[in-house]
Structure 1
Amino acid sequence: MADMLSADALDLIFRDARSYNGWLDKPVSDEQIKAIYELLKMGPTSANMQPARIVWVKSDEAKAKLAECASEGNRDKIKTAPVTAIIGYDIDFHEELPWLFPHTDAKSWFEGDEEGRKEGAFRNSSLQGAYLMIAARALGLDCGPMSGFDNEAVDKAFFGDSPRHRSNFICSIGYGDRKSIFDRSPRPDFETFNSIA
């Protein structure tokens, strides 16, 4: 069994981590972005599928384009963040399974079942997006996940050359401004929504 993380590490990733609405004027490097990916790709997914297709929106031009697709309340969050990740997914992820999951013919499990692929791609790209946030926090960065945007507009603007890719959610990443967060909302006790059978 692996050793547990320290209390400080758990605080960093979970207990003290917050969803940020504003950002300090401090850049996130391409090396940091790549380090996030190198961690998130190690998280478990069904049959090691890697359906997530991520666009790391960093340039002012790309930020403005993404902000145009977002609800008014999210536009400044995108424009002021050092980077915002668009976590998308590939409906045809199964084409990559022969090398990602070589133990068996996993590709055949998904052929001819586009609805099943959409469901699997959405679920597993959501997992990968969660791993992205955990990785970013573990590397000392803060996150601001968002769903207030026009998926169709984002798909057209950022996945236009890949029509089988769809956006799932977006997440700004950087060094959060503590003044931009609200008081923490309630978190339920175990007994509220859990049972052990």
Structure 2
Amino acid sequence: MTQQFHDTTLSGQALDQIFRAARTYNGWLDKPVSEAQIHAIYELMKMGPTSANMQPARLVWVTSDDAKEKLAQLCSDANKDKVRAAPVTVIIGYDIDFHEELPWLFPHTDAKSWFEGNEAGRKEGAARNSALQGAYLIIAARALGLDCGPMSGVDLDGVTKEFFADQPRHRADWICSIGYGDPTTVHDRSPRPDFDKFNRIG
């Protein structure tokens, strides 16, 4: 029996929207992002692969004026107004004790036992895989017609204390504003290397 292959490559327009024409925005149009859109981003993001389906990312979606101001005060001067103006800024954090959820997230085997008694290993795995999930978040938001402004200029210890105070095993890692970007706030695109610069095929 001959297996049939189908071309499932996304359209050029879709690839432009997600990658080639997408930009990092520094300012935002006065246009809201709904809770339904926030849920839609997460429903796509969660489908991206993580090690043993650990899903370590813990997200806080900052939308109220009060929460925005609290977050802005923990940002570098260059990022304060970005957070204030964005419809939503999501805090991407991770749970050091993600392994407690593995019995239902990865029921095929006793994956929880792989991480018990190894907090350093859990921190490493949680940081790496939550960063992956943050990348999936950006792709999901762009795929849904939204723009992103990821930022690392933030007091992470302060964000952890302010926004994860009720979850002492959670740690903030970075933040990303989401909305409809103001095209006048985009810088010229920085260089992107050709394949041969940083790649080898063995």
**TM-score, normalisation: structure 1:** 0.99
Q: Distance in 2 between matches of 1:68 and 1:157?
A: 11
Identity of aligned residues (%): 74
Q: Please tell me whether residue 113 in structure 1 is matched to residue 112 in structure 2.
A: no
Task: Give the alignment's Cα RMSD to 1 decimal.
Answer: 0.7
Of the three residues 146, 149, 153, the one matched with 2:151 is 146
2:97 to 54, 78, 92: 92
The counterpart of 2:193, out of the listed 172, 181, 188, is 188
Corresponding residue for 1:162?
167
Give how far 1:168 is off: 1.0
Q: What is the aligned partner in structure 1 of residue 83 from structure 2?
A: 78
Asked which structure has the greater CA Rg, the reply is 2
Q: Distance in 2 between matches of 1:169 and 1:132?
A: 12
Could you tell me which residue of structure 2 aligns to residue 32 of structure 1?
37
Q: Aligned pair 1:66/2:71, yes or no? A: yes
SS at match of 1:172: strand
Matched, 1:55 2:57: no
Q: Distance in 2 between matches of 1:120 and 1:191?
A: 30
Residue 132 of structure 1 is matched in structure 2 by: 137
- Name the aligned partner's letter for residue 71 of structure 1: S
Moved over 6 A (4+): none
Aligned-partner residue type, residue 92 of structure 2:
I
Amino acid at match of 1:194: N
Q: Structure 2 CA distance, aligned partners of 1:40 and 1:32?
A: 12
1:4 aligns with 2:1: no
* SS, match of residue 196 in structure 1: coil
SS at structure 2 position matched to 1:171 = strand
Give the number of equivalent residue pairs.
197
Partner-residue secondary structure (3-state), 1:88? strand
Q: 1:53-112: CA deviations, max 9, x gaps?
A: 000000000000000110000000000000000000000000000000000000000000
Q: Could you say which residue in structure 2 is the equivalent of 1:20? A: 25
Shift of 1:157: 0.4
The alpha-carbon deviation at position 40 of structure 1 amounts to 0.1
Distance 2:199 2:33 in 1: 38
Unaligned ranges ≥5, structure 2 = none
Any stretches of 5+ residues in structure 1 without a counterpart? Answer: none
